[in-house]
Structure 1
């Protein structure tokens, strides 16, 4: 019984590791595309995991990961943004930049 539990634990750990790699790659792709769309420079070509937790929604329990990334507006200075992944889908993306408000 102990061997079965150890194998199950190793399989669960392997699944979590692969799922985390997949979520990180998707987050990087989202950040690269969003920076390109806004004409920003995505720095370091990486995201850093800042928070890990569980999210309960109507579709079930999902792993919620918050990643921080850095970008530059004109190649000068570094600013931070974040992307929140729920499972393998993007829940939120923020650059922390002021939005252009049209003349109202």
Structure 2
């Protein structure tokens, strides 16, 4: 019986790893698109997982919500911060913090 539990744990870990890679790739792509839309540069492929938690999708199913943080620049020397929110494998939104303190939301409908 313990071998079955071990195999189940290994399979769960493999699924989580694969799911995380896909989610991060979606966040990188969304961050790059969002930066391009405002004429900014995504810095150093800085997209990194900041937070992971369970959340309900619109369908009511539980999914993993991952919040990725990244840095971008508008003029080449400052480092501004942004976030990409991914629920399951669906991009929810990208937020780009501007130096003036404003936030630009780019919703998933335009980039999924």
State whether TM-score is above 0.5. yes
2:95 paired residue number: 94
1:4 and 2:8 aligned: no
Unaligned stretches of 5+ in structure 1? none
Q: Residue 57 of structure 1: CA displacement?
A: 3.2
2:79 paired residue number: 78
Higher Rg of the two aligned structures: 1
Residue aligned with 2:97, SS: coil
TM-score with structure 2 setting the length: 0.84
Q: Could you report, residue by residue, the CA deviation over 1:50-103 in whole angstroms, capped at 9, with x for unpaired residues?
A: 100000234201100000000001102101111111011111211122269xxx
Unaligned stretches of 5+ in structure 2? 105-112
Q: Which runs of 4+ in 1 moved over 4 A?
A: none
Q: Residue 31 of structure 1: CA displacement?
A: 0.6
Root mean square deviation of aligned Cα? 1.5
